Amino acid sequence: MLEAIAFYVLASVAVLSAFAVVSARNPVHSVLFLILTFFNAAGLFVLLGAEFLAMLLVVVYVGAVAVLFLFVVMMLDVDFVELKQGFLSYMPLGGLVGVVLLGEMLLVTSAVRTSGAFSDRPTALPEGVTNAERIGRVLYTDYLFLFQLAGLVLFVAMIGAIVLTLRKRDGIKRQDVSKQVGRTRKQGVELKDVRPGQGLG
Amino acid sequence: MEAELLARLTADLAWIRPELLLAGFALLGTLVGAWMGDRASGLLSGLCAIALVVAAYFAWQVRPAEPHTVFNGALSIDGFSAYAKTVIALAAAATLLLGADHFARRNERRFEFPVLIALSAVGMFVMVSANDLITLYVGLELQSLAAYVLAAFRRDDARSSEAGLKYFVLGALASGLLLYGSSLIYGFAGSVRFDEIATAAGQGGVGLIFGLVFLVCGLAFKMSAAPFHMWTPDVYEGAPTPVTAFFAAAPKLAAVALLARVLYGPFAGLEAQWQQVIIALSGISLLVGAFIALAQTNIKRLMAYSSIHNMGFALMALAAGTEKGMSAALIYMTIYLPTTIGAFAGILAMRRDGKDVETIDDLAGLASRKPWLAMLLTVLFFSVAGIPPLAGFFGKLVTFQAAVDGGLWPLAVVAALATVISAAYYLNIIKVMWVNAPAPAFQSSGPTIAVTAGLATLLVFPVLVVGFGWIEQAALFAASSSFP
């Protein structure tokens, strides 16, 4: 009973805030609603017994991705009102696509319900094995190859970011530790005999 | 248990030596490049070409008569993947040679170029070996992501940046379609593994067909089959020419091989359904590629439409749905790759007053200025037009045979008509080179470009013509040993 209430609260808030993400006028509000959506999705994961995924969602998506979005939105001066000018004219087509996609998702759900392609409840965890441990066991054994391959994808992304944005600039002042340490008193200090009443000229 | 896991892991690692070699090169090459800076670019390009050739050798060496799956069913190592990997690695090595000269001449050497090519090759290797939907997606994404960066490689050039951005945005959309299709397939089949999807597909089902159509759309985008070809001309035109040569060669074969693997492996049971989709894609590609190319003046855009047209042939062979059709697609692509790489080597040699020129009119009278280059290009364009006795003719012949044997008469007729139309623009280029009044001479091109153009032409005639029986045998083995 309590579980059902929790599910409906979390699910409806998630859907409503997701709608608010696209309809909010202020882009900063959009990002904040996005964070709310992530939190509710994390709550749904907890209800399914996947605490580790829930924490991951909060840490990665709220902690990193959403904050990055916030930075982008605040740093770039994008006129979102102007961007949304065409929104209403695209609405009918976009809505149609959305309805078709929704219909197909319902189709899949009903097919799974009737033919039972997958057991509809996640299998219970054996006693004494935590979420993280269980994921780790398959991630680093059965899916080891894909895990490493995903690492290569991230490597490409990193190289790409550097290739496309890093520029060598002249006149940058850098700290050169060995130069600093190797400096002698002779190079650093100069004694001047200053006569009284006259400046250093 | 741990000892057993470790033993299994080391046994599996031995099967993926080509991938390990290239990934290792990419990681070490980045370190070397970060240390030495762009001075390392020539050295790394050479090493990467060597690594690719060795990887091709490794891949060719392992050709089991029965498919062998490794990493818990993530990859399937079989005759088909061995064949595709060998050709892909050699094509990538050839484009690397083109790039070394081109970037050096323009003083744009960057050590990331060979590293990204190597990583992209790893992605393609994984694609052609994919044995479940996750591997398929990750391999495809690894290849595409490296390609997006390569397209925007000349970052201060507006056209190159535009090409990269356009490719990235549309590619992301295609990946979205592909993922949506994958999730539908997963939902209906209850598994991402190809063998289990095959079991589910044997029982039919509307949902699986929905998913398959989305998946095919995503893959058709990657291989630039019409009507998912919109990005191709702009990306080909905007990207640096060696990068365009790379796009036109290895990734095309990888995408065709991946599509073949998906259609003939897990979805063999739904052949009646996917056959219509592939026939439509093939027919539209053939016609769009032939007609729109007639109006092009830029030779890189022309090559883009030519590649769309050629994809139509590969799809026509696949649409036959037979073992022969699959081997015909492989043979066609194997012959198409050296032709297109040679043509791009010719385009790279078009350089005047320190600038690259790329309109068809710039080729005017090439025969009197540079008879050798004109000869090579003539042979290559005759081959891609399908004129006997050049290799391109035999490639077209096997695809026609496969289509007719598969009962696809109407499609074969469309293909024949489209070939005649496409011959018009290839012949126009040849006419411009031999008949028109000479334009100012080109500067001399670098040694690697000349060598690549020469080798490609030698492959087109006579090496692949003489060795055609051998290629046919290899392709048939690839098709028959891998799919029951």
User: Can you give the residue ranges of every domain in chain B?
Assistant: 2-482
Under an 8 A CB cutoff, do B9 and A160 touch?
Answer: no
Q: Please, what's the b/e burial string for A133-168 (b: 16 or more CB within 10 A of its CB; e: otherwise)?
A: eeeeeeeebebbbbeebeebbebbeebbeebeeeee
Q: What is the pLDDT of residue A25?
A: 79
pLDDT at B97 over 50: yes
Q: What is the pLDDT of residue A193?
A: 81
Sorting pLDDT into bands at 50, 70 and 90, what band is A201? low
Return the higher-pLDDT residue of B57 and B447: B57
- Give me the residues of B, 161-180, that contact A with CB < 8 A: 164, 180
Choose from B236-240, B347-351, B441-445 the range with maximum mean pLDDT. B236-240
Choose from A84-88, A193-197, B290-294 the range with maximum mean pLDDT. B290-294
Q: A69-73, A125-129, B245-249, B352-356: which range is least confident on average?
A: A125-129
Chain mean pLDDT for chain A:
84
Kindly give the residue spans of alpha helices, DSSP state H, lying in chain A. Answer: 2-23, 27-47, 51-56, 67-75, 80-83, 87-115, 131-139, 144-165, 177-181, 185-188
Instruction: State whether residue B196 sits within 8 Å of chain A by CB.
Output: no
pLDDT at B127 over 90: yes
Q: Please, what's the b/e burial string for B134-170 (b: 16 or more CB within 10 A of its CB; e: otherwise)?
A: bbbbbbbbbbbbbbbbbbbbbbeeeebbbbbebbbeb
What is the per-residue DSSP string for B228-279? S-THHHHHHHHS-HHHHHHHHSHHHHHHHHHHHHHHHTTTGGGHHHHHHHHH
pLDDT at B385 over 70: yes
- Give me the residues of B, 346-405, that contact A with CB < 8 A: none
Q: What is the pLDDT of residue A11?
A: 94
Q: Which residues contact A42 (CB under 8 A, 6 or more apart)?
A: A54, A55, A57, A58
Q: What is the pLDDT of residue B445?
A: 76
Residue type at B211?
Answer: G
Q: What is the pLDDT of residue A116?
A: 57
Chain mean pLDDT for chain B:
91
Q: What is the pLDDT of residue B378?
A: 93
List B76's β-bridge partners, or say none: B69
Tokens 């409840």 belong to residue: A121
Return the higher-pLDDT residue of B424 and A167: B424
Substitution target in B25, B141, B196, B209 with the highest count of A β-carbons within 10 Å is B141
Sorting pLDDT into bands at 50, 70 and 90, what band is B234? very high
Instruction: State whether residue B30 sits within 8 Å of chain A by CB.
Output: yes
Q: What is the pLDDT of residue B465?
A: 83
pLDDT at A180 over 90: no
Using an 8 Å CB-CB cutoff, list chain A residues near B30.
155, 159
How large is the average pLDDT for residues B55-80?
91
Under an 8 A CB cutoff, do B205 and A111 touch?
Answer: yes
Using an 8 Å CB-CB cutoff, list chain B residues near A117.
187-190, 200
Name the packing angle between helices B158-189 and B231-238 (round to 10°). 140
Choose from A63-67, B64-68, B332-336, B363-367 the range with maximum mean pLDDT. B332-336
Q: What is the pLDDT of residue B462?
A: 86
Q: What is the pLDDT of residue B76?
A: 93
Which of helix, strand or coil describes residue B215?
A: helix
Of B16, B23, B183, the CB nearest to A152: B23
Sorting pLDDT into bands at 50, 70 and 90, what band is A120? very low
pLDDT at A121 over 60: no
Q: Are B283 and B312 in contact (CB under 8 A)?
A: yes
How large is the average pLDDT for residues B246-257?
95
Of B116, B145, B190, the CB nearest to A117: B190
Return the higher-pLDDT residue of B153 and A73: B153
Of A108, A141, A146, the CB nearest to B5: A141
In angstroms, what separates the C-alpha of A13 from chain B's closest C-alpha? 25
pLDDT at A79 over 90: no
Using an 8 Å CB-CB cutoff, list chain B residues near A145.
12, 16, 70-71, 74-75, 135
How large is the average pLDDT for residues A68-97?
79
Using an 8 Å CB-CB cutoff, list chain A residues near B205.
111
Under an 8 A CB cutoff, do B146 and A162 touch?
Answer: no
Percent of chain B's residues with pLDDT above 90:
65
pLDDT digits (tens, 9 = 90+) for B103-125: 888 888 889 999 999 999 999 99
Sorting pLDDT into bands at 50, 70 and 90, what band is B101? confident
Q: A101-110, B118-127, B181-190, B369-378: which range is least confident on average?
A: A101-110
ipTM, two decimals, is: 0.93
pLDDT at B171 over 90: yes
pLDDT digits (tens, 9 = 90+) for B76-88: 999 999 999 999 9
